[in-house]
Chains A and B, each alone.
Chain A
Amino acid sequence: MKKLNIQRTSDFEVDLASLLAVMMKLIPVLLLSSAFMQAMVIDTELPQAVTQAIQKQVDENKKNLLLEVDGNRKVTITIDINGAKSTFTVDPLEAKIDRPKLHGLLQEIKKKNPDIFKIDFSPDAKVTYKEVVHVMDEARRSRSSDVRFPVKDEKSGQEIMTDYMFPEIIFVNMMEG
């Protein structure tokens, strides 16, 4: 039997010229409109339930949390509940704010006082802007995904879990000389 002389060629060419033409147009457009540095802002826009809880705290005004950072980067947290004050401190770590310890302490305070959302923040004049932002970061939200705090939704009456700890931060020493 005579074998069929079939030639199998695996080589083929794809015309990439049109694809390249599209890319040559897209890339300059994207290069011009790309944000290589993602700038964000810190503000206090919050979910409805958290906003209501903050308002409730403002209305009742029985609990107050003061966070002070001194020139040596020592953090002092004072909780005032109906006039009864308790103080906690976070010592500096290598002349810097001990951020993990501060975050852990704030989580513990929030667990014991889930109805507090506002912090009166009083950094020393020497504290840098970077450190101010870092302290705000540690206070605003819980970093751990398994640590959540209950908030009662005033409208539905249901309890929801949130990672917000102390989202409202007020610079109390802004008017000081």
Chain B
Amino acid sequence: MGRKLKKDLNIKNNSSFTLNITSMTDMFTLMLVFLLQNFAATSVEIKTDADLALPTSNSYKNPIMSLQISVSKTGIKVGEKLVATINNRDIASTDIDPQDTNFIQPLFKELQIIAQDPNIKKDEKNQIMLQADQDLPYQTLRKIMYTASMAGFPQVKLVTVLGN
């Protein structure tokens, strides 16, 4: 009965078929061009937090390896370590020195530890790459720059995103 059905339906058991990959190749070519254009030539990896929007600038200078401080709307991080809290776009009062309102105590302590670390390269020692959220007031940044300079990091490089 099965043989009869096969004969009736005239089913062909052909195992070879041709797959048209031209459109897929087109898509890959476009992707390849785009990715080559965005290929990161710089060796410095900049990690930004989700709640941190960098300001745009027309600077074309590539970042160089140095200590990274990121200032988001919620806190200050040195590298990956959270050192101080930000409330309402200002440093939390518990982190501020009562004698000096510009001085962020936990940030200073962390930077001092890094400054005294013999494993850190000499050219990385006195400069900082500051990533800060674009909506933070200058008052907050001033405190960070002030504390950093007191801890022995007087050169601050501002990280921005290329654009106008």
A residues at B contact (CB < 8 Å): 16-17, 19-20, 23-24, 26-27, 30-31, 33-43, 45, 123-130, 132-134, 136-137, 140-141, 143, 171, 173-177
- Whether A41 lies near B157 (C-beta < 8 A) is yes
Provide the main secondary structure of the chain B interface. mixed
Known: A33-B40, A34-B38, A174-B146. A23 touches B138 (CB 8 A): no
- Whether B142 lies near A43 (C-beta < 8 A) is no
Q: Determine whether B129 belongs to the interface, using a CB cutoff of 8 Å to chain A.
A: yes
Task: Identify the closest chain A residue to B60 (Cβ).
Answer: A40
- Whether B39 lies near A33 (C-beta < 8 A) is yes
Could you list 12 examples of A-B contacts with CB < 8 Å? A16-B22, A19-B25, A23-B28, A34-B40, A40-B159, A41-B64, A41-B159, A41-B160, A130-B55, A141-B58, A173-B142, A176-B142
0/1 interface trace, chain B 49-68, chain A, CB 8 Å (1 if under): 00000111111111110000
- Whether B133 lies near A129 (C-beta < 8 A) is yes
Task: Report B-chain residues with C-beta under 8 Å of the C-beta of A26.
Answer: 32
Q: Determine whether B135 belongs to the interface, using a CB cutoff of 8 Å to chain A.
A: yes
- Whether A171 lies near B145 (C-beta < 8 A) is yes
Assuming A130-B134, A171-B145, A177-B102, what are 5 further A-B pairs, CB within 8 angstroms? A40-B62, A41-B63, A41-B64, A136-B57, A136-B158
B residues at A contact (CB < 8 Å): 21-22, 24-25, 28-29, 31-32, 35-36, 38-40, 42, 46, 48, 54-64, 100-102, 129, 132-139, 141-142, 145-146, 149, 155, 157-162
- Whether A42 lies near B61 (C-beta < 8 A) is yes
Cα of A28 to Cα of B136 in the assembled complex, Å? 37
| Nearest-Cβ distance from residue B108 to partner chain A, whole angstroms | 15
Cα of A34 to Cα of B36 in the assembled complex, Å? 8
| Nearest-Cβ distance from residue B103 to partner chain A, whole angstroms | 10
Cα of A24 to Cα of B147 in the assembled complex, Å? 49
Task: Report B-chain residues with C-beta under 8 Å of the C-beta of A40.
Answer: 57, 59-63, 159-162
The 5 closest A-B pairs by CB, nearest first: A125-B139, A30-B35, A130-B134, A35-B40, A130-B55
Name A129's contact: one of B32, B42, B101, B136 (CB within 8 Å). B136
- Whether A41 lies near B158 (C-beta < 8 A) is yes
Cα of A17 to Cα of B22 in the assembled complex, Å? 10
- Whether A126 lies near B48 (C-beta < 8 A) is no
Name A39's contact: one of B135, B137, B160 (CB within 8 Å). B160
- Whether B142 lies near A37 (C-beta < 8 A) is no
Task: Report B-chain residues with C-beta under 8 Å of the C-beta of A177.
Answer: 100-102
Task: Report B-chain residues with C-beta under 8 Å of the C-beta of A171.
Answer: 142, 145
Task: Report B-chain residues with C-beta under 8 Å of the C-beta of A132.
Answer: 138, 141
Cα of A124 to Cα of B141 in the assembled complex, Å? 12
Task: Identify the closest chain B residue to A33 (Cβ).
Answer: B40
- Whether B35 lies near A31 (C-beta < 8 A) is yes
| Nearest-Cβ distance from residue A7 to partner chain B, whole angstroms | 22
